[in-house]
Every structure is written in C-alpha cells, then in structure tokens.
Structure 1
Amino acid sequence: MIQRIFFPLSFTKDKGLQPTYLARNNFGIKHERELDENIEEKIKDRDSKKYLLIGGDVSGIQDFIYHISSKGALKLLRGRSFYLEMFCEDIVHEIVERLGLPKANIVYSGGGNFFILAPCTKETDDIMKELKADLECWLIKKRLSSSLYLALSWLSFSGDKFVNFSHIWMDVNQENSLKKAQKYKSVLEKNPSKILELGDYGDPCDACRKIVPSEDLEPVDDEEGVMFCPLCHEQMEVGRELARFGNSFYIIKEDQGYGFSVPFSKLKLVEKGKLGMDRSPSAIYAINSFDTDEVIGLIKSKKLIFDIRISSIPIAIYCAKPDYRKSEREIFSLEELAEKSNGSKKLGAVRMDVDNLGKIFTYGLPEDQRNVTRISSLSRMMNYFFKGYLNLLGEFKEEKVLNVCNWQSNSPKLVKERRHSRNFSIVYAGGDDLFILGAWDDVFELCFDIEELFRKYVAENPHVTISAGFSIFGSKHPLYQIARVCGNKEECSKEDGKDRIYLLDRGAGKEQISRKFEGIKDAGLEDSISWRDARKLFADFKPIFWYIMNDKGNASKSMVRKLLAAREEYCKYPEKANWVIQLHYFVSQNKDMKNLLDNNRHEELRKYFYSVYSDKVSPIYDIDLALNILDLLGRKVNS
C-alpha cells in the first residue's frame, strides 16, 4: 500500500484549522509521486489550491416521493423515502471509493446534500467527470431523469480557506444552484437521443404513472389488478421489509444478486442476527445503531472480510403498526390511521422546516470559528435531530423525551393519557425538514412536541427556529395534494414571520376583517400563529376542553356553532357591538359556559369573550382555532 502524507487539521481559537504534523491520509495523494524528494515546504504551503470540496445536491425530492397514486400508498411512500436515503449514501460512498479516500473525508451527508474533501489533482477531476456521466446515464436509463437530478460540483481552494470554511461551502452551494437550472445539460448537448429515445410507448405504472414497456410491468402482491414498474416494485418491497424489521437493521452492499438497485450497487435489507447468512458483502450499513458486536464477531470468525467497509446511518423510519399483525410486513394503512383518531376519523399531516438555515450556516458561528469541523458538526447535528429524535417521539418511551414532552411542556394535549407507539408514520425526514402522516390528533400533538424538543436541542437559541404547516384530510385524499397543501401552509408560516405554525384555515370573515385593519402593523391577522401564542391559546381554553370532554363526554355542537357565529359577526362588523350582545346573551343562557367564565381562575379565558380592541384584532378572532379542534375531538363519526 502506498504510504501517503497529510496534515491532520487541529483547531486553534485564533487561526481555525491549522496543519500540525505529518501523518498518513489521503491529502498526501497530492504529493505521492514526490515522496523521495524534500517536499516539506510544499506541504506547508497554504496558498496553493491543493484541496477540493465536492458538493452534491439532489433536486426533485418532493416530486419523487409524493407524486404517486394511493394504491398501497403508505408502504410505497416509506419505501421511496428510504430508497432516496440509500440513493444518496451510495453516491457518497462511490465517490470516496473511486478517489481512494477514507470515510473521514465525508464532511457531511444528509437531506439530499453531501460534501466531501478531496485532493486537487487532475486524476480527481477525471474521476469525478466520469462518475457524473455514469450517474446521469443511470438516471436516464431508469426513467428517473424527469424527477431526480444530482447537481454535482467540485471547487479547488487553498489551505488558508480552512480558517473560514463557510465561504467555500457557500460557493459550492451556489455552483450547484446554477446547475439545477440546467439539468442534464451535457447529455442534451452531446447526445439528446438518450433522453428522447425513451419515448412514450407502453403502459403507465399504477404508482408513478410513468409510461414503461408493457412487459416490464409487474403485479403487486395483495393489490389486485395493480401493476408497478420495476423501480416502484422494488420500492414497495423495501417498504414492506421496513415494516418487518423495525427501526434497527442492516443494509448490505453486493455487486449483484437480489435486492434493490441504486446507481452503483445492489442493496439488501438484513435483519439483526442474520448478517452472516449471505455471501460476504462488500459493505455494511448499520441503520440506527452504533452496536458493532455482531459485525466484529463475524469478522473474527472469518465470515466477513477484515477490511469490510462499515457505516452507521441514522434514518427516521418510525411507522405505526397494529398491536396484533396478520403478518410481519403489516403496518397501518392511511384509512386505518384515520380510524385511530379520537373524535372525527381524519388524517393529520404536517410539514416542518428549519427557518433561515442558510443564514445559520453563514452567520451562525463567529467569523473566526467557521472552520470545517464546526461547519460539518453543525450540519451533522441538525441532521441527527430529524433522523434520530423523530423515531423516539414515535416510540414515546425514552425517559428524556417523555420528560420534555409530558412534564416540562405546556403544549396542547388532546387526550388524558398519551400512549406509547403513537399513531403516525414518518414519510420523510432529514437535513432540516420533515413530512409526517397519521391520526389527526396524534399529529396535532406531535407538531408541538417536535418544536418543544427542537428548542431544547438548540439550547433555547431564539435565532434557530422551525416553522410548520398542519392540515386535516379525509383518508382518501390524494397524497400529492396533502403534501402540496401542507407545503403551502409551511411557506405561509415563514412569510408571516417564521417560528410559527399554520393550523387551520381561518374560515368565514377573514376577508372582511382584513379590509378593516388593512395597513395596520401587527394587527394580528396572519393565517399562521406563533408557537408561543398557539400554546397560550390552547392553555387558556384548557378549562373548556377538559370540562366538556371529561364531564360532558363530547363537545356540544350547538355551543361551538353559536360561539363561532359570534366570531363571524365580529369579523363582518368589527366596529359594531352586535357580536358582543350576541355572545353575552348566549353565555347568560348557557350554565356551563357561565360557570367557567365566572370562575376567577379562568381570567385568561374571559378576555377572548369580553375584551374589545379598536387598534388591533380583538381576542375573539382566535377562538376558531381552539373551538374547531374541540369540535373535531368531540365528533364520534367521520364527517
């Protein structure tokens, strides 16, 4: 093996990353042909561009995951999401293998993005160009070019850039942004027939709706009359296997054989305890586990080669399962998740995203501390939250998670006792965003649990926040529309000021009252609501929730309608007193409401019904959020 020289990069407060001593690693590849010469000065040179930062950014993730039919939807969704994770991992590991680099050179990988440090040589440039061409050909051949694209860039830099690594990091991101606007440019310029010859002959796949040759369509088990293309069929099988294995298992890489195809490998899911039953794989991925005892034991018994590549990968794959399953592969369908809801039998969905992520990486660290170790650690730890903690929130057993969500939190809780194994499934989570489906009341509570846990995770930093779009649907609603609606609400939360959640549409009267307070700053007419205000709102309405749900058994539809009617009257004529008269008359005639509002302990609740403002929206405007949730919770049938 060639002896290679590099500088381990140690951190100093004043100068960031500095080369300190000669050792072995791949940056020495720059000088490997000069090892017989005195190259100490060349190695110490920090002005020459001896390094490359390779960056990849997968675009089309949302369309790829969500644009499917509802046939076998949840298993296929989970299979696609997991497939995408391994798609990126396969590319990352192929790059370091072709370049002869160790895994330590992978600065970051997650959420469809990755960064790798490499030596700046002509050989590296040639290898990367060849790999990029191979990848694009594979995507075209698999008919994925219309949905997925990997923008791949590599820029050279000198050693002094390690002091403020955010500059080269952002330069690579900008280069990839330009390439995403010119997808498959080299293929279209040199050989456009590769894409055009795909044609439109054949029949549509019942999942992705892509036209494929009829002979390539395959029937799907347990789905009568359903035909999938080979890729969707593989992803469906992956989704079924995920249900069988739980949250921790292995992925093995084989050059050929049974498994699912990613650009440069065949991968196969293997249950824990059964790793040595296949022929020796070339690489092993331990999913959601750092326990290597089984692998070490197999290496010692010579069932695995001693230098096998092993990686630990966190992936958010929690899904709700029936207590008594007919088969190991069974998970709740979307219809069954809706049936697990309390009250109205609906699906809940949420999309969440970290606010100002670009600014966090650019300005979130002091300028003299934006070195490669801190930047990569910040990226990796952000990724770990979305890929690690969400599984724990689903299982809802880990003591620290329970402590934050149950006892330290003032988040709204719709049921008296919160159960383990919550009724939701993670569709996608990684990098800085997520998409989750489940029983509407579980997902509603989960939104606040995630935000609460995230605030603790970032040490209550007020500049690192998250925004969300939540919505409620019937179980037959098309998945791509669910994703689109929640995505639009999430964007609205960000436009309204970030650190917010869009819960429900504000309903009748929004346009009328908007005209009344048009141009008034901080009038309180945003569609979304801040996390703090949402928590306070539901805390203020807690007496109504618990009195009605515990003592009465369900919400009075008449009560909810009359209170909402008073709100609607206010929205139409906020300058008049009609709504106040209407509301006070109703309260005087309703003994339950009168007792609650007359109670001195419910001072905060009274303001929603008795406070009137002229320079901003009165508190009654916000009662629709709490009352509509109460109404949904009180329903006993799907309506």
Structure 2
Amino acid sequence: MAEIDVLIKAALLHDIGKMCLRADHSLGNHSNAGANFLKKYMDNSLEAEQVSRCLRLHHAKALKTAKLLADDFSYIVYEADNIAAAADRREREDEGVDRGFDAQSCLQSVFNIFGEQTSNPVSKYYLRGLNPSDKFNYPTTEMCYASDDKYEELVNVLESNFQRAGVLDMSNGELLRILEDVMSYIPSSTNKNEVCDISLYIHSKVTAALASCMYEYFSENKIKDYKKYCYDQSGNSEFRKQDAFLLVSGDFSGIQDFIYTVPSKGALKSLRGRSFYLEIFMENYIDEILQQLGLSRANLLYTGGGHFYLLAANTDTTKDNLKKIQNACNEWLLEKFGTKLYMAMGFAPCSASDLQNSGMQRNVFAAVSKKLNQDKLCRYDIQNLAKLFDSDSSYNKNLDGSRECAVCHMSSKKLIANGDAGDICPTCKGLFQLGEKLFKANRHFAVLSKAVGEELDLFGYNKPLFLAVMDEKELEENSSSLVRIYSKNKALTGRNIGTRLWLADYYSTNDKGAVMEFEDLAEQCCDGGHGIKRLGVLRADVDNLGAAFIGGFIRYGKEEPEKYATLSRYADLSRDLGMFFKLAVSKLCRGELNGFDNINQQQFSLYGLQKPVQRKVHVVYSGGDDMFIVGAWDELIELAVDIRRAFTRFTNGKLSFSAGLAMFSHGYPISKMAEITGMLESAAKSSNKMKNSIALFGFETEQKNAGSCLCCEHIYDWTTFTDKVCKEKLQFLLQHLNIDTVDNNKLKTGKAMLYRLLNLLEEKDDNMNLARFAYTLGRMQPEKASVQLQQCYNEFSQQMYKWFKDADARKQLRTALDLIIYYIRDTKEDA
C-alpha cells in the first residue's frame, strides 16, 4: 500500500471505537476500543500496526506518554482531527457518563442552529443505517434515543463488511461507502455541552481529507518531523498559520443548452441521457483529478448541479496538475462538443486557521469564486484560440458542409439515419441510448480503458476512456479493462468502485410496464378522466443558498458568533441537501411522504380525486439544490406542494425554494419549455423579499407606459397558494358548483359562465365592473330552488362578491377559477 492510503484509512477509522463503546460501555475508551475492534480484520503488517497506532494515539494525553518516532502518522491524524472538529478536545477524549457524555444522544439536525434562531424544539435523527429502500430519515422533534442495541446492529454491519474484505485490502472508495452506510446518522460527539449535529461519517471524512493534504504538503516541503508541526505547541502554532491547503472549485458551463437541445420525439430518454452523462462526466473528472493528486473521495467536499468543491494540498505539484488536467479536459471538450461545454476551475490557498475561522472561510470561498468567474470570462489560452480560428484545425473539422446532426447541429461527425428524427451523430444517438438504459434495473456504469461496443467517449487524463452501461455479469467479463465503476443508489463492493451515485431516478410507467412518453403523461391529467391534456414542467431551486452558506451558521450578536461555522458543518449541510434532492424527492414521487416518526403527512390533492399514490411524473433531474420534473400538470402541482412541505420539515423551516410551473402541448419544443419555465422560476424568486414562492401557468402581456412586457399573474408564496387559493377558494368552488357530478344541492354552471366570471375578475377594479360582476352572479340564481340549493346560491354569491372587492382575494379567486376551468375543459378542446 502507498503511505498516503495507509494514512487515509487510519484517519477514516480513527473514531470507529465510538460506535463500539456506545454498543458496549465496558470497553474503556473509544481509542482502544476501535483499535481492538479493527485488529480482527487486519494482518500483522507494518501498515496494520500504523493504523492501530493512529487509532490508539490520536489524542494529546495518549501521545504525551507514547514513545513514537517524529514521523509517525498518529501526529497527523491527531492534528487533522482537531482541525476537523475546530476545537481542541484534549480534556474530553473519552465518552462516559462521568465526563458529561450521553451515549444515547441522537444526531441533531444541522438546521437547528442554521439561520435565524427560533424557539422550535431541537430536531434529531433516529439512529439508523443509510438504506435507500427504507423510509427517509426526516429529523423529528419527538423523544428519541440511540439505544445500545441499535449501535450493536450497526457494529455488526461493519463486521460483516470487514469479514468479506479486510480493512487494508479494500479500496478507500469502498471503505468510504461502507462508513457512509453505517455512520451517516451517528453523532460524532455526544458531549452534553456541545451541539451534536456533526455525523461521525462527515467528521471522519473531513479528518481524512485534512490528513492527506497535510501529508502531501509535508512531503513537498521535505518535512518529516510531524510531531513538531502537529503536536508541539510552538511548531503547531506556526503550521496552523501556513497556507498548507488549497480549496479547489470547478463549474461546468453550458449545461442548460446541452441538456435541452433535444427533439420532441423521444424527449424523455434524450433529456435523462444527456443530464446523466454530464453527471457521470463530472464525477469521472473529479476522480481523474483525485487520482492524479494521489487523494481520495474523502477530499471531495461537495458535488452537485455541475459544481464541485474539493480540498487539496497547497503545493506547486498540485497546482500544476490541476491546470494540466483542466486544460486537457477543455481541449477534449472542444474536440467532442465545440465551445458548447467548458469546465471552469478556480483555487485559493488557505491555512488550518482559515478553515477553523468562519470569517476567514468566507474570504477563502470568495477568493475561489472570484477565480472561477475570471476563468469563465477567459476560457481559452492562446493555443486554444489559435486552433479555434484555424479553419483547418481539428476543432473545425467538417465532414460534409451540407449535412449536420439534427440534434446537436455539428457537421464534424459521421451521421446515422434516425427515421423521422433525421440524421444524428453517434454521440447524440449514444446519449439517447444511455437514457433508455437508465430505465433498466440492475445496471451499473463502467468506465473502461478500451471500447468493447458502442460506448460513449469520456474524458481521461492522458488516456482514452469510455462509458458503458453493464449488468454485473458484463462487469465480470470486462474486468481487465475496468477503470472504475459507478453504481446507482446501490451499494457495490470491490476495488474498482468509483462511488455510489445517489440519483432521483423516478419515472412513471403505463399498465404494461412501459415508460410513459410526454404524450402519455399529458393524457393522465386529472386521472385521465377530466380536463385539459397538457404536460406540466416544473423547475425549482433553493432560495438564497449562496448567502445561506456564507452566513448560515454565524450567530450574530452572540459572544462567539462564528463558533459553529466549521468545515465539517458545511460539509454535513451540503450532503444533507444533496440527499434530500436525490433520495427524498424520488420517495415523494412514489407517495412515500412519511419517515420513522408518528407524523402522518397526506398527499396534497387539488380536486380530491382518488388516485394512485405514485405520481404520474418523470424526474429529469434533481440534485444539488434544484429540480427539473415533468408530468401530468395537476400531479405536478400536487407533487410540488408535497416536496415543499417535506423540504420545510427537513430544514426546520430554515430554507425555502421557489418554483416555476408551466403547461405545454406535449409536442412543444423542449428548449422552449425549459426556457419559459425557467423564466417563471425567476419571476417567483423576484416576487417578494423572502422568495419562497411558486409561479404558475405562463406569462401574459401587460401594458406599461408606452410599451408592453410579459408578466405572470399567478405568483404566490407557498402558504398563500395552498391555504388561500386551493384550500379556501378552489374548495369553495368545488363545494358550490356542479363540476363533474350531478348534485341538486349545488349550482349548475357551464364553461361560458365560468369564463364570464374570470373575464370580469381580470377587468379593471371599478364600480362599473363591480356592478357587472354582481349582475352576472344574479343570473346564476336558480329558479324554483330547494331550500338547500337557495342556501348554496346565497353563500356562493355573497362570498364571491366579498372576494371581488378585495384585491388579494380577487387575484387568488382568478387562479382558483383557472384551475376549475382546466379541470372541466374537454379533451377535444386541446386540438
């Protein structure tokens, strides 16, 4: 094993004894408990002895009496542990009741101390392993505790994994996956005087990231006296001020145009294929970087939405390699896709003190962001630009000036006949086929060193790579050319594991089990029996996330305002958001709204229809902090409310998201669907200071001064939409009007009358229009009505008249009437 791999394993496992001690309190202290536990799963090699020492001696008290060489890794793990925790635990190294620890404490949500402080009860997670097939682990305010038996179950899961493959025999990627499964909901600390909201998994991961960076930094600077810089007070104080670390950020430009440039026919498969290809591309690019730097996935702090952050060593070798890989990647992108895609990168040095101090952290993140933006403005170097303007260069090759791909419109590739869709290039065909294969179960994503079929090209640093979708048998057959494997929501084992990709992969099928096309989804509106047949498109993302990350954990006005703004807490926050948008959103689409607690959340319903709990929608993309979902328009509105409620619950009300939701004919160009819905999302975000809103349906032309502009008349904060528009006004209309049933106690009304009411609501609010509205209501009075029907009319006319005179209620009533009209429109009106 390489030295750095031994160090990474030791850092990842340094606190494993906490699990053992909480399962069996007789084991003494967690340092020895962890070393004794792992001894059964390691050999007697020098590497095993080093790992064991790091576990036993990663606290100051133990190091003080240990007779170690100055270059022992125990010193690095000790210092990395302290930096990760952003606190020195020298006086609090063992967990026991007499030392102020509560071993039965559950992991608290990071959102308890995030943002504005409230009087809400503290929310905690139930102690569980991370099982994607289980209920989603929402934080709860109910009484819960972490039992010895539950810890014992989790320790047994570790044992079963280590029995299959020894600790030193498995790759760091596989070890990370195992620890994620087991330690995601275990608190790192159960000290009664501390906020216990950092998971043991994230603390261990960040410790490993810091330790590997320190090793690389020391190596480049020919430092072997780890004791001096990690343990001795004077040397350690000096080291913490040194810019030993490098915060690296990458951003994929051109994602939107790349994804949405697809034909309407087979749009779903093309969209999912393109979206997933970019995700795999980013993950593989990150792994290529980490491999070249000699680091592991522990150094990856965040990835999602075409963006990533990782922590590296601040060395000349690191910076040189980063630029080489970035340049190689962008040259590859120019060859394959022209200027449509670009991988931007920025990095900034920082010290251990910076990572422990929120104010300094903000400066580091700001510096990285500035470098990233500068890189986007100056994409290409002189050599790239020269080739771009050279008509004979490989960037501008032209196989046939009269023919181009019907999808990507490039003329530099061979074309394949694709029926009515026209001729397309192998890449676009491959992306479509990738979208098809994503719907198949038990498929994994293999990165190969050689092509064995019709694989998609993938960037590799100084080597060609290919992306293939394979089952486990095919993986075995091609084991000699496997570079790495990515699994989808499923745990795989083996040395070639890249990472498990959490994907919101929900899709809806018809009665025969076939994936529904856009036309099929549109036909499913209002359970297939009512209303206008339109495809709904939802785009949404979290409000003010950048600002929230910068200041979310700063407690202004407190004695130590930046006490909780630690690197581990930001890493936990990033991961939590990613898990919600990737795992929870899929479960919500399936109708799984509830967690382990006793809260019984019901699916939101517009019209009270009895429908299957599984939503008739397709998740095109959900991850990072945003979503793109298509489906039957009414199901999509209902799902959006379900997701918003769950997100509020998950974040303790500390974060919100805004959404745009539009309705289209299924054959409308996808790029325009995305553009219009994106504009609605922006309109929702600009509607009020708090954002937290939804914009519905589309835009209308509004006359202003000498010109006109587009405006959306149906923008509401989520509470107003659910409570005022839907629960109050829409339900009122359903209760008083004969919409789709014959009820002699409700008012008979046709579409013409509803359109008349809607038109009057849209007119200028003046006395003349009020009189017209009253007259129209009068015409609705039934003749020879029963007592019940007359009472229904009186309630209806009085309430409608009252709402008409109130500007906000009038607007809400317009939206409710639109929802009624969409519900009763005949299918034939869709032509």
Q: Same fold (TM over 0.5)?
A: yes
1:469 aligns with 2:660: yes
- The one of 61, 66, 69 aligned to 2:260: 66
Tell me how far 1:209 sits from its aligned partner: 2.3
Amino acid at match of 1:228: I
Which secondary structure does the structure 2 equivalent of 1:117 belong to? strand
Structure 1 111/590 Cα, relative in aligned 2: closer, same or farther at 3 Å?
Answer: farther
CA displacement, residues 384-414 of structure 1 (integer Å, 9 cap, x when unaligned): 222222221222246549997xx53584433
1:242 aligns with 2:438: yes
Say whether the 8 Å CA contact 1:3–1:24 is kept in structure 2: no
What's the CA shift for 1:202? 5.0
Asked if 1 retains the 8 angstrom alpha-carbon contact of 2:487 and 2:501, the reply is yes
RMSD: 3.6
SS at match of 1:552: coil
1:356: which partner in 2? 544
Deviations 1:161-204 (A, max 9, x none): 11123432232122212222222245445644357634583522
Question: Residue 254 of structure 1: CA displacement?
Answer: 1.4
Which residue number corresponds to residue 370 of structure 2?
A: 174
8 Å CA contact retained: 1:315, 1:387? yes
Structure 2 residue 583 is matched with structure 1 residue 388: yes
Asked if residue 432 in structure 1 is aligned to residue 628 in structure 2, the reply is no
Moved more, 432-441 or 36-45: 36-45
Equivalent in the alignment of 1:9: 81
Q: SS at 1:320's partner residue? A: coil
What is the Cα deviation at residue 232 of structure 1?
Answer: 0.8
Matched, 1:282 2:476: no
- 1:139-288 aligned at under 5 Å gives the runs 139-142=333-336, 144-163=337-356, 164=358, 165-189=361-385, 191-192=387-388, 193=390, 197-198=396-397, 201=401, 203-213=403-413, 216-220=414-418, 223-224=419-420, 226-245=422-441, 249-257=443-451, 258=453, 259-264=455-460, 265-271=465-471, 275-280=475-480, 281-288=482-489
Task: Tell me: CA distance 1:409–1:493, structure 2 relative to 1, closer, same or farther (3 Å).
Answer: farther
Per-residue deviation, 1:15:
7.4
By how many angstroms is 1:243 displaced? Answer: 2.0
Q: Secondary structure at the match of 2:540?
A: strand
Query: 1 CA distance for matches of 2:318 and 2:252?
Result: 21
Alignment of 1:401-550 (within 5 A): 408=601, 411-461=604-654, 464-497=655-688, 498-505=691-698, 527-536=714-723, 537-540=725-728, 541-545=730-734, 548-549=738-739
Q: What secondary structure is seen at the aligned counterpart in 2 of 1:348?
A: strand
- CA, structure 1 residues 594+243, in 2 after alignment: closer, same or farther (shift >3 Å)? farther
3-state SS of the aligned residue for 2:741?
helix
CA contact (8 A) 1:543 1:596 kept: no
Are residues 1:114 and 2:292 paired? Answer: no
Larger Rg: 2
Q: Distance in 2 between matches of 1:225 and 1:359?
A: 44
Correspondence for 1:365: 553
Deviation string, structure 1 residues 312-366 (Cα, Å, up to 9, x no partner): 11112222222214xxxx5222112112223211111111111101111011112
Give the letter aligned to residue 467 of structure 2. L
Name the SS of the counterpart of 1:9 in structure 2.
helix
Query: How far is the alpha carbon of 1:590 from its aligned partner?
Result: 8.0
More divergent stretch after superposition (395-404 vs 482-491): 395-404
SS of corresponding position for 1:588: coil
Other-structure match for 1:379: 574
**Equivalent pair of 1:205/1:211 in contact (CA under 8 Å):** yes
Output aligned runs, 1:38-77, within 5 Å.
38-43=225-230, 44=236, 45-77=239-271
Indicate how the Cα distance of structure 1 residues 195 and 362 shifts in structure 2: closer, same or farther if over 3 A, else same.
Answer: farther
Cα drift, residue 227 of structure 1: 1.9
Identical counterparts, % of pairs:
25
What letter corresponds to residue 620 of structure 1 in structure 2?
Answer: R
Alignment-derived partner of residue 332 in structure 1: 516
SS in 1 for 2:440: helix
- Please tell me whether the aligned partners of residues 57 and 152 of structure 1 are also in contact (alpha carbons under 8 angstroms): yes
CA distance in 2, matches of 1:439, 1:41: 65
Match of 1:630 in 2: 820
Q: Rate the CA distance shift 1:618–1:452 in 2: closer, same or farther, 3 A.
A: closer
Contact 2:262 2:407 in 1 (8 A): yes
For 2:3 and 2:801, locate their aligned partners in 1 and report how far apart those are by CA, in whole Å.
78
Partners of 1:593 and 1:318 in 2: how far apart? 50
Cα deviation, residue 100, structure 1? 0.6
Please tell me whether the aligned partners of residues 604 and 639 of structure 2 are also in contact (alpha carbons under 8 angstroms): no
Q: CA 1:397 to 1:39, structure 2 compared with 1: closer, same or farther past 3 Å?
A: closer
CA distance in 1, matches of 2:273, 2:693: 31
Query: Which residue is equivalent to 1:311?
Result: 499
Aligned counterparts of 1:140 and 1:592: Cα–Cα separation in 2? 75
Amino acid at match of 1:389: A
CA contact (8 A) 1:58 1:112 kept: yes
Spell out, residue by residue over 1:55-95, the C-alpha distance to the aligned partner (whole angstroms, 9 max, x if none).
10111111111122223221111100111110110111110
2: CA distance between counterparts of 1:483 and 1:597? 47
Identify if the C-alpha distance between structure 1 residues 581 and 118 changes in structure 2 by more than 3 Å, giving closer, same or farther. Answer: same
- Closer/same/farther in 2, CA of residues 590 and 312 from structure 1, 3 Å limit: farther
1:610 alignment partner in structure 2: 802
| Counterpart residue identity of residue 52, structure 1 | L
**Structure 1 runs, 4 residues or longer, greater than 6 Å off:** 15-24, 33-36, 401-404, 590-594, 600-603
Q: Tell me how far apart the structure 2 counterparts of residues 57 and 268 of structure 1 sit (CA, whole Å).
A: 24
Q: What is the identity, as a one-letter code, of the residue corresponding to 1:283?
A: R
Taking the aligned partners of 1:40 and 1:49, their CA distance within structure 2 comes to 19
Contact 1:383 1:430 in 2 (8 A): yes
Question: What is the alpha-carbon distance in structure 2 between the residues aligned to residue 107 and residue 22 of structure 1?
Answer: 9
Matching residue of 1:304 = none
**2:553–2:564 contact (8 Å) kept in structure 1:** yes
Q: 1:312 to 1:606 in 2, by over 3 A?
A: farther
Q: Which residue of 2 aligns with 1:84?
A: 278
The answer to whether the Cα contact below 8 Å between 2:760 and 2:769 also exists between their aligned partners in 1 is no
Which structure shows the higher strand fraction?
Answer: 1
What's the TM-score, normalizing by structure 1?
0.84
Q: Which SS does the other structure have where 1:126 is aligned? A: helix
> SS of the counterpart of 1:369?
coil
Paired residues in the alignment total 597
Give distance in 2, aligned partners of 1:110 and 1:237: 23
Contact kept, 8 Å, 2:346 with 2:368, in 1: the verdict is yes
C-alpha separation in 1, matches of 2:731 and 2:363: 49
SS in 2 for 1:266: strand
| Equivalent residues of 2:504, 2:623 under 8 A apart | yes
Which ranges in structure 1 are unaligned for 5 or more consecutive residues?
Answer: 300-306, 516-523
- What are the superposed Cα offsets for residues 105-128 of structure 1, whole Å, 9 maximum, x if unpaired? 111111111111111111112211
- What's the counterpart of residue 302 of structure 1? none
Which secondary structure does the structure 2 equivalent of 1:331 belong to?
coil
Structure 2 unaligned blocks of 5 or more: 5-72, 90-202, 231-235, 555-561
Q: Confirm or deny: 8 A CA contact 2:287 2:498 kept in the other structure.
A: no
Provide closer, same or farther for how the CA distance between residues 445 and 312 of structure 1 changes in structure 2, counting only shifts above 3 A.
same
TM-fit CA distance, 1:103: 1.3
User: What SS is found at the alignment partner of 1:584?
Assistant: helix
Partner of 2:683, secondary structure, is: helix
CA distance in 2, matches of 1:201, 1:394: 46
CA distance in 2, matches of 1:210, 1:402: 54
- Contact in 2 for aligned 1:56/1:113 (Cα 8 Å): yes
